[in-house]
């Protein structure tokens, strides 16, 4: 019986991930650690901004990596593994919010305070607070589009809304941020 493996072209910077995915698929949990160290920070911050909660974000990333050894066997995307992870993370985060299984709310503006020393200007703190204060629907679209770089089409698919709805929400998010941050007309 043939083994139905992922048919991803393996090359360049993706090769590390691809090798790790292959190892993880065959049950090597050390590969999971390596993937965790490569991606967890970015995914943690993504989940934090989507859920609006650092605690929920940790739960999301936990769920992701607990489910990964099985899910990775069905990974057969054409794009990069990192992008696939980000997408699944967003789905998990949104699902968590939709199902109301969030544990408790932690304002984003406190979440990163321990790292403030290395960061710069005041506007950053305003932005973090302003993002946290956005209504959930607007915040998700803003974070996914302008912070994480998803396209409106991708956001539409992830959130379960039309592309145009995503655009409208981004526009509203921008207006709300402009009001919150001041400046600009």
Partner 1 sequence: MNDSWMRDLKTAITRLPVVPESPELLRRIHARLAADEHVILPLADPPVPVRPVWRIAAAIGLLLATGTGLWFVWPTATLTAGDIQGELRFTPATPRVGQMVEVAYRAPTILAGRNRLVLRARYRTPRGEAYQWNTQQTIAAELMRAPNGLFRASLRLPDSVVYAAFAIEDADGRIVDSNARRLWELLVHDRDGRPTFDALKQSENDLMGRNWEQGYETARQVAALYPDRVGSWSDLLFYEKLVLGESHLDSTLAAHKARLKAFHARLAPRASLTSDDLGWMLWYARSLRDSTLEQYWRDRLEREAPASPLAVQERAIAIGTRAWNDKDSVRALADLDRLWEEVGPAHGNLVNVGWSMAQRVGDSTGVVRWADHYLVMNPRDSSWIATVFTRYPALREEGMLRLRRQLQALQTRNDSRRALERTVDEQRAVDAGKARQILVALGDALVASGRTNAGLDTLRLAVQEGWDVPLFRRVAEIEGSTGDTAGALRLLGLVAADPATEGWGRDSLRRLTGASIDSAAWARLVRDGHGEMRRRLLDMAVRRGLPPAVRLEAAGGSTARLDSLSRDRVTFVAFWSRHCGPSLEELPALERLTKRLRQQGVAVVTITDERVSDDLSRFMTDQKLTFPVYADTWREASRGFSQWGTPSYFILDADGVVRFEYRELNRIPAEVAVLQ
Q: Which of residues 119-148 bind partner 1 (CB under 8 A)?
A: 119-121, 123-124, 126-128, 135-136, 146-147
CA-CA-CA-CA torsion sign (50, 51, 55, 56):
negative
Residue numbers 36-55 binding partner 1 by CB under 8 A: 36-37, 40-41, 44-45, 48, 54
12 near partner 1, rule: CB under 8 A: no
CA atoms within 13 A on the CB side of 144: 32
Residue numbers 66-105 binding partner 1 by CB under 8 A: 66-71, 73-74, 76, 78, 88, 91-92, 95, 97-101, 105
Shortest Cβ 14–partner 1 spacing (Å): 12
Instruction: Candidates 18, 55, 83, 174: give the one binding partner 1 (CB under 8 A).
Output: 174
Q: What is the separation, in whole angstroms, between the first and last Cα of the chain?
A: 64
107 near partner 1, rule: CB under 8 A: no
């Amino acid at each position: 019986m043939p083994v139905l493996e992922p048919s991803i072209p393996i090359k360049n910077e993706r090769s590390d991930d691809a090798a790790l995915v292959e190892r993880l698929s065959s049950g090597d949990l050390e590969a999971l650690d390596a993937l965790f160290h490569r991606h967890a920070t970015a995914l943690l911050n993504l989940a934090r901004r989507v859920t609006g909660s650092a605690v929920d974000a940790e739960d999301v990333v936990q769920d992701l990596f607990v489910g990964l050894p099985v899910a990775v066997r069905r990974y057969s995307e054409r794009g990069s593994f990192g992008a696939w992870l980000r997408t699944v993370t967003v789905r998990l985060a949104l699902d968590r919010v939709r199902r109301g299984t969030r544990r408790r709310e932690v304002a984003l503006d406190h979440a990163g305070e321990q790292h403030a020393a290395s960061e710069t200007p005041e506007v950053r703190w305003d932005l973090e607070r302003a993002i946290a204060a956005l209504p959930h629907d607007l915040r998700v679209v803003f974070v996914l589009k302008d912070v994480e770089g998803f396209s409106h089409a991708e956001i539409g698919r992830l959130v379960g809304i039309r592309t145009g709805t995503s655009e409208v929400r981004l526009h509203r998010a921008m207006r709300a941020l402009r009001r919150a941050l001041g400046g600009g007309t």
